[in-house]
Amino acid sequence: MLPLWYVDETVRRALAEDVGKGDLTTNALVPGNLRAEAVIHSKGHGILAGMSAAERTFTYLDPEIEIQWQLVDGSQLSPGSVIARVKGQGQALLTGERIALNFLQRLSGVATATR
């Protein structure tokens, strides 16, 4: 497992690159007080990895976000597997979802290829 300082720095850089000073579309269209819920699920077979990076992405944007992981790193995935349920500020969910999913997809792909 990677040290948290490394995960945090990687998340910070990913957010700076992707979001910069803010997600203008999300901020314009989604009220700041809107609470939202998301379900992350698998599209295919594989091995789950990258949970800490995904979680740190969401908590960086909303420290009070609630993430209920349904699986653990290293779990077998099949199409439709529910990985997590995420509840929090709507703007934070929409701003962080692409980055969090990128971490999960990329790292799960590496874990799957190397197993």
Mark 29-52 as b/e (b = at least 16 C-beta within 10 Å): ebeeeeeeebebebeeebbbbbbb
Work out the average pLDDT over 15-23: 80
CATH code for the domain of 27 = 3.90.1170.20
Contact (Cβ atoms closer than 8 angstroms) between residue 104 and residue 40: yes
Domain count within the chain: 1
The candidate with the shortest Cα–Cα distance to 92, out of 70, 67, 49, 63, is 63
pLDDT of residue 3: 84
Contact (Cβ atoms closer than 8 angstroms) between residue 79 and residue 44: yes
Give the three-class secondary structure for 63. coil
pLDDT of residue 77: 98
pLDDT single digits (tens) 22-81 = 777 777 777 888 899 999 999 999 999 999 999 999 999 999 999 999 999 999 999 999
Question: What is the pTM assigned to this prediction?
Answer: 0.89
Residue span of the structural domain in which 107 resides: 4-114
